[in-house]
Chain A
Amino acid sequence: MNTDIKLIENGKRLDGRKYDELRKIKIEAGVLHRAEGSCYLEWGDNKVIAAVYGPREAIPRHTQNPLRAIVNAKYNMAAFSVDDRKRPGPDRRSREISKVISEALENIVIVEKYPRASIDVNIEILDAEAGTRCAGLTAAGVALADAGIPMKDIPVACAAGKIDGQVVLDLGKDEDNFGQADLPVAISPRTGQILLLQMDGHLTLDEFNQALDLAIKGCYTISEMQKKAIMEKYQKVGEVG
């Protein structure tokens, strides 16, 4: 395999984007009938469905917390979501992502309102093209709001990275595979608090700060799209009559 492909040509990236340009994002709230809240999200070629169930009594019982609810996110990649068939079922990667997303969500859901309960968030990756944990978390945020779960903010995630020595926003598939670093960030857009921060690859401190700023800027852009998607679903309810 050719590992030294050129990722930047004439100041443009492989798919013609600028350095600080996001992929195309489409968000739709409330797509599933049986779930309390749900969201379908397309982010470039990523296709993600998030569904929220609960709050309901946490099972097994030893996971219950008598003072607060637990948030139980489950990230799962469909077998057909990648080019080579992925062996179905949880693996090390998806368990890690489930854990970090659960912890990010626990910080914005008002968990004290539902002692002993669990709020289950299922994130299903139908089509993967790099940046699925950000897409999953963003979709989960919309689904939680759609479910009517009390929360302090709608979480949003976005990644930045480094390709060919240049810090860029929102890595695509080849950029992720052949780039030098990937930095997914999730924030609470109201306060600017960081909910999730991971890094893969190498960045100098300057580059890191630059990438973090860029990713947070991307987060705010996506946050507006999330709010618009929720409003679009429910605005028409308010306009009847």
Chain B
Amino acid sequence: MEEEKRKIVIPSQLLGDIEHNKSGRGTFVEKGKIYSEILGVLSQNSDYINVIPLKGRYDPIVKDFVIGIIEEPMASSWLVDINAAYPALLHVNEVPWDVEFGETEKFLNHGDSIMAKVLQVDQEKKLQITLNDRNLYKIKGGQIINVEPSKVPRIIGKKGSMISLLKKYTKCRIFVGQNGRIWIDGEEENIKKVIDTIKKIENESLSYGLTNKIENLLKKDAKDVH
């Protein structure tokens, strides 16, 4: 199965019927037949037929780590853009500082970036995020780049294999938000290397054995430097 070419599917494409398969993510059922609802890559997991999106907005899931940009400080909360369809609310109770009423902009102002965790997603898709967790804070320095949210699992790799490779060979500090924003800090040329590599991963995200390929590439580069 590993050798098979990944199949691109488009909305309304027939994928199977409910007698033999189950309808998974990115699909819908009509009159006993399973169809794709998005442009994506077909993946079959035991009985389930899934379509993994190629493009599209970030769909927030509780406990995801994301990178947000403050849109608007309000009296006792902030509105944060986390690349989802809706702005997320960050309440003063959810930050590690002691914020007086109406003094929110002293701590986080328009344009500031934060690492955050998705706290709550309700039925109306109202979003809440929090800073009360380990390793979550306001971002100072470094650089943020954007990738397609659907490509994030490839950039992290299996059990973080890809991202630890990147960290090992470039000595950069990297934080990958599930919403497709990646923060990188380190020496300037190393940051550039990370960005180039991530772009490469994004472009070739559908190929097999990518982690090995990237490792070889990074090794070669590292040799050239020393």
Contacts and interface: CB of A to CB of B under 8 A. Distances in A.
B55 A235 contact: no
A37 B55 contact: yes
Contacts of B10: 145, 154, 227, 230-231
A15 to B, nearest CB: 32
Interface stretch (B34-42, B179-187, B218-226): B34-42
A88 interface: no
A14 B5 CA distance: 47
Interface string A122-150: 00000000000000000000000111111
Interface in A185-200: 189-191
A147 B11 CA distance: 11
Contacts of B145: none
B86 A57 contact: yes
B6 A238 contact: yes
A153 interface: yes
A241 B207 contact: yes
A145 B11 contact: yes
Interface string A57-91: 10000000010000000000000000000000000
Contacts of B85: 54-57, 114, 117
A152 interface: yes
B56 interface: yes
B204 interface: yes
B11 A241 contact: no
Contacts of A145: 10-11, 39
Interface in B12-37: 12, 26, 28, 30, 35, 37
B167 interface: no
A110 interface: yes
B8 A152 contact: no
Contacts of B203: 240
A238 B206 contact: yes
B8 A231 contact: yes
B55 A154 contact: no
B57 interface: yes
Contacts of A32: none
A57 B207 contact: no
Nearest to A241: B207
A153 B39 contact: no
A116 interface: yes
A44 interface: no
A144 B38 CA distance: 10
Interface string B136-164: 00000000000000100000000000000
Interface in B174-220: 203-204, 206-210, 213
A151 B11 contact: yes
A149 B38 CA distance: 6
A36 interface: yes
In order of increasing CB-CB distance, the 9 nearest A-B pairs are A241-B207, A148-B56, A148-B55, A55-B85, A153-B12, A150-B37, A190-B12, A117-B85, A238-B8
Interface of A: 36-37, 54-57, 66, 110, 114-117, 145-154, 189-191, 227, 230-231, 234-235, 237-241
Given A55-B57, A151-B12, A237-B8, 10 more contacts: A54-B85, A115-B123, A117-B85, A145-B10, A150-B38, A237-B206, A238-B6, A241-B208, A241-B209, A241-B210
